[in-house]
């Protein structure tokens, strides 16, 4: 039990919002509500994490988050606490932002969600709106309601009947659509806000809560809201695998996938977002949510083979990229390769399910010597590949990663890499080969800088050797 100085005041009528879980979703959510003028308790049972956040350290890199944390620690509108039970009792609205990791089957592991539900049930002391923010499969809200009634009933048999006035809570679903690298921006300026509710009271509370954002509000039932989140991530993953599939064909027929993507993306029915060919999607959300969606469909006898193919195409991107490295260098054993980018995407230090790490492992298996650099994800990567790992060197800059390399591999689309002085990079490399897994560079500009250039879905359209012809190949 925490000491008294770390316990929030207990008053269920003061409009306090409690956010349970201070990770990549919980902390931006808590600080976002503080920015909207609400009093927010950020609760987590990890005492060390809470202490660091209380000291102004947001734990992970997210643009704008550190500044927002400092602002609202000073304003007093945000208070990090590790007395989770007291934070529940103090709240009128509770947001559940705990992890929903994946089981080996692909099923979402909801053990943390259930544990939070039991804790909340034991500390209900008046009406509370309990909101799922974590990504969960459809009908999780029904299980939450059942769990809350069961464990509140265990504390007091008079609370067992959901229709009774004593059952003083509502469950709502308010899925997050926060992109890592843009989480603060996405909270304050969302495309839309999805709220699943099963009572008019919950509807009014959430509508009022989000009024300051003045954004489209999609109100539906809880199961539909839960499904919207998985469907959105599955659709975006499908777009990525689709354009990567097209990229492979472009290389065979001498087309340019970036032009194809522009040509179809200008169609308003399609849109340009998520049509960037490359090494595939990674991160904590897309891989996990696609698998969980497939599992949910199989559980209910629905054919989701389309998403199974989306997964297969994405998994194959590692093989496709490593094959390109082979084509450029022939044998890889003993070759020194500079690697630019370790995070699963630009704007974050998150390496969970990062395709870059799978490529690094595949190259290590081939016996390559790797020089790694990322602006933010170096420390996290060292938890997977320690600095003492044979054949791996962590570098202090992109230029240092390129030094002595026989090829430079671009794996994360950081703006810093786009601005590289390619002439200077060429000077420090043993062999000027650039293999661009994100199509970050203009092919002609890279060739003019004296590089052999390999990219994704554009290699059939033009010669990739310095001074080569720019004419398209003919079938």
CB 457 within 8 A of CB 250: yes
Query: Checking phi first, is residue 139 left (phi over 0); if not, alpha (psi -120 to 50) or beta?
Result: left
List residues bridging with 49 in a β-sheet. Answer: none
**Is residue 402 a contact partner of residue 393, using CB atoms and an 8 Å limit?**
no
Based on C-alpha coordinates, what's the Rg of the chain? 25
Residues 41 and 19 sit within 8 Å (Cβ to Cβ): yes
Continuous segment of H or E residues that includes residue 220: strand 217-220
323 vs 321: CA distance, rounded Å: 5
Contact assessment for residue 324 and residue 435, using Cβ atoms and an 8 Å cutoff: yes
Catalytic residues: 285
**Do the Cβ atoms of 117 and 79 come closer than 8 Å?**
no
Determine how β-strand 128-132 pairs with β-strand 169-173. parallel
Q: Which helix (H) or strand (E) holds 238?
A: helix 222-253
- Which of 305, 271, 273, 317 lies closest to 457 in space, CA to CA? 317
| Residue 148 CA, distance from chain mean position | 29
φ, ψ for residue 196, nearest 5 deg = -105, 120
Q: What SS3 string covers 27-90? A: HHHHHHHHHCCCCEEEECCCHHHHHHHHCCCCCCCCCCHHHHHHHHHHHCCEEEECCHHHHHHH
Cβ neighbour number for residue 251 with a 10 Å cutoff = 20
Beta bridge partners of 373: 340
Its sign, for the CA torsion 73, 77, 83, 84, is negative
Q: Is 19 helix (H, G, I), strand (E, B) or coil?
A: strand
Q: Give the helix/strand (H/E) hosting 452.
A: strand 452-454
CA 121 to chain centre: 30
Pairing verdict, β 169-173 and 193-197: antiparallel
Q: Which of 252, 260, 408, 285 is nearest to 354 (CA)?
A: 285
């Amino acid at each position: 039990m925490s000491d008294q100085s770390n316990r929030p005041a207990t008053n269920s009528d003061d409009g306090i919002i409690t956010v349970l879980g201070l990770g990549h979703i919980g902390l931006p959510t808590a600080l976002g509500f503080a920015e909207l003028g609400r009093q927010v308790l950020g609760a987590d049972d990890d005492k060390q994490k809470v202490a660091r956040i209380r000291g102004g350290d947001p734990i992970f890199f997210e643009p704008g988050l550190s500044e927002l944390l400092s602002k609202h620690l000073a304003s007093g509108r945000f208070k990090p606490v590790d007395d989770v039970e007291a934070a529940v009792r103090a709240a009128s609205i509770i947001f559940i932002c705990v992890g929903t990791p994946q089981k080996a089957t692909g099923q979402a592991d909801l053990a943390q969600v259930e544990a939070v539900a039991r804790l909340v049930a034991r500390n209900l002391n008046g009406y509370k709106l309990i909101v799922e923010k974590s990504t969960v499969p459809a009908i999780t809200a029904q299980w939450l309601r059942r769990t809350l009634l069961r464990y509140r009933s265990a504390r007091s048999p008079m609370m067992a009947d959901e229709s009774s006035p004593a059952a003083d809570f509502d469950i709502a679903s308010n899925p997050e659509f926060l992109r890592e690298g843009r989480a603060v921006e996405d909270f304050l300026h969302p495309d839309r806000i999805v709220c699943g509710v099963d009572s008019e009271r919950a509807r009014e509370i959430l509508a009022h809560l989000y009024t300051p954002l003045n954004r489209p509000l999609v109100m539906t039932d809880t199961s539909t809201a839960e499904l919207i989140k998985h469907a959105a991530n599955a659709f975006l993953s499908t777009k990525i695998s689709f354009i990567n599939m097209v990229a492979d064909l472009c290389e065979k027929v001498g087309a340019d996938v970036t032009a194809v993507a522009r040509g179809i993306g200008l169609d308003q029915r399609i849109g340009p977002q998520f049509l960037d060919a490359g090494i595939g999607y990674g991160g904590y959300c897309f891989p996990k949510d696609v698998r969980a969606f497939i599992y949910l469909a199989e559980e209910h006898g629905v054919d989701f083979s389309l998403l199974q193919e989306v997964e297969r195409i994405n998994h194959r991107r590692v093989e496709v990229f490593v094959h390109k490295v082979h084509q450029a260098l022939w044998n890889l054993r003993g070759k020194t390769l500079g690697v630019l980018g370790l995070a699963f995407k630009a704007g974050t230090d998150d390496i969970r399910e990062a395709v870059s790490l799978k490529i690094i492992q595949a190259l290590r298996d081939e016996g390559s010597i790797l020089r790694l650099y990322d602006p933010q994800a170096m420390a996290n990567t060292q938890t997977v590949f320690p600095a003492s790992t044979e054949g791996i060197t962590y570098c202090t800059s992109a230029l240092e990663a390129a030094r002595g390399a026989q090829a430079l591999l671009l794996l994360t689309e950081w703006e810093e890499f786009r601005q590289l002085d390619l002439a200077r990079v060429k000077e420090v490399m043993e062999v000027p080969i650039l293999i661009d897994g994100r199509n970050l560079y203009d092919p002609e500009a890279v060739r003019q800088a004296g590089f052999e250039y390999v990219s994704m879905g554009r290699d059939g359209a033009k010669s990739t050797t310095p001074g080569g012809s720019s004419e398209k190949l003919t079938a």
